[in-house]
């Protein structure tokens, strides 16, 4: 009797893993913050790598001593999306898709036993703005985002649930793998019972990612065949 093949759920982080926006995100956050709250450069000292937009926003308002409510929070993110759409088209340092990303997505897309989704701290609308600009939004069947849960560790179950609710056929023993560039991506995978592939394309090196508990560490995503061998075997 042939063994049943598990569908692989591959959950990709965005910033530092799939692409660099050239600073568009932070410029848009700062512009929205200044317009709504009158504070310049409110996000410049806030750590962002691997964190959700919600926690980043909370840190900024706490640091600046700003009281907010649901209305002002909603107004802020509406402005953020507006300015992100403007800033994403502007030149920026190191802006672009990470090496090998498009070729890897092209390699993964036709595989019947692989479903690719997003797991990101970006709010869903911000994620779509970024990925549509770089022409890769349509590769992803589903996603879990920073507006689904403020703590990244809670996103894997949400992503798996959305995968099962999508048109993809997900086998009961499906294997979930998080692909990201920070220790928080790795920790998120561990918390969600998933494996992880960490890439050294962001702010962290191989040693830090291995110490965080990554199952696999790659310098980048340029070797599609090696990536497939790691996640499918």
pLDDT digits (tens, 9 = 90+) for 153-210: 999 999 999 998 887 777 777 899 999 999 999 999 999 999 999 999 999 999 999 9
pLDDT tens by residue, 198-226: 999 999 999 999 999 999 999 999 999 99
Domain hosting 77: range is 24-87
Regarding whether 112 and 52 lie in a shared domain, the answer is no
Q: How far apart are CA 99 and CA 85, in angstroms?
A: 23
Regarding whether 60 and 121 lie in a shared domain, the answer is no
For 20, 195, 215, the CA distances from 131, given in Å and listed in that order, are 11, 24, 26
2 inside domain: no
Q: What confidence tier does 6 reach under pLDDT thresholds 50, 70, 90?
A: low
Please report where in the chains the tokens 């450069």 appear, as a residue. 41
The DSSP H or E segment spanning 183 is helix 183-191
DSSP 7: P
CATH number of the domain where residue 172 is located: 3.40.50.1000
CA angle, residues 81, 108, 13, in degrees to nearest 5: 35
Regarding whether 145 and 207 lie in a shared domain, the answer is yes
Chain centroid offset of residue 98 CA? 13
For residue 2, pLDDT beyond 70: no
Regarding whether 159 and 126 lie in a shared domain, the answer is yes
Regarding whether 37 and 15 lie in a shared domain, the answer is no
Over range 29-40, report the average pLDDT. 97
pTM recorded for the entire structure: 0.94
152 inside domain: yes
Listed in sequence order, the residues at least 6 apart from 64 whose beta carbon sits closer than 8 Å to its beta carbon are 37, 39, 42
């Amino acid at each position: 009797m042939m063994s049943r093949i598990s569908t692989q759920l591959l959950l990709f982080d965005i910033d530092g893993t799939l692409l660099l926006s050239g600073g568009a995100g932070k410029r848009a956050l700062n512009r929205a913050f200044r317009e709504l709250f009158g504070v310049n450069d409110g996000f410049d000292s806030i750590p962002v790598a691997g964190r959700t937009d919600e926690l980043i926003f909370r840190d900024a308002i706490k640091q600046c001593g700003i009281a907010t409510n649901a209305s002002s929070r909603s107004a802020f993110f509406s402005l953020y999306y507006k300015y992100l759409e403007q800033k994403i088209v502007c030149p920026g340092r190191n802006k672009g898709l990470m090496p090998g990303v498009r070729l890897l997505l092209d390699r993964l897309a036709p595989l019947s036993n692989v479903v690719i989704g997003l797991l990101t701290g970006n709010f869903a609308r911000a994620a779509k703005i970024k990925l549509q600009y770089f022409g890769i939004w349509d590769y992803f069947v589903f996603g879990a985002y920073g507006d689904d849960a403020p703590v990244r560790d809670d996103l894997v179950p949400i992503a798996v649930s959305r995968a099962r609710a999508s048109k993809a056929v997900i086998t009961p023993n499906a294997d979930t793998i998080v692909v990201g560039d920070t220790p928080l991506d790795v920790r998120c995978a561990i918390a969600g019972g998933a494996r992880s592939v960490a890439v050294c394309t962001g702010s962290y090196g191989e040693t830090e990612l291995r110490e965080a508990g990554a199952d696999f560490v790659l310098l980048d995503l340029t070797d599609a065949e090696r990536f497939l061998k790691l996640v499918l075997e």
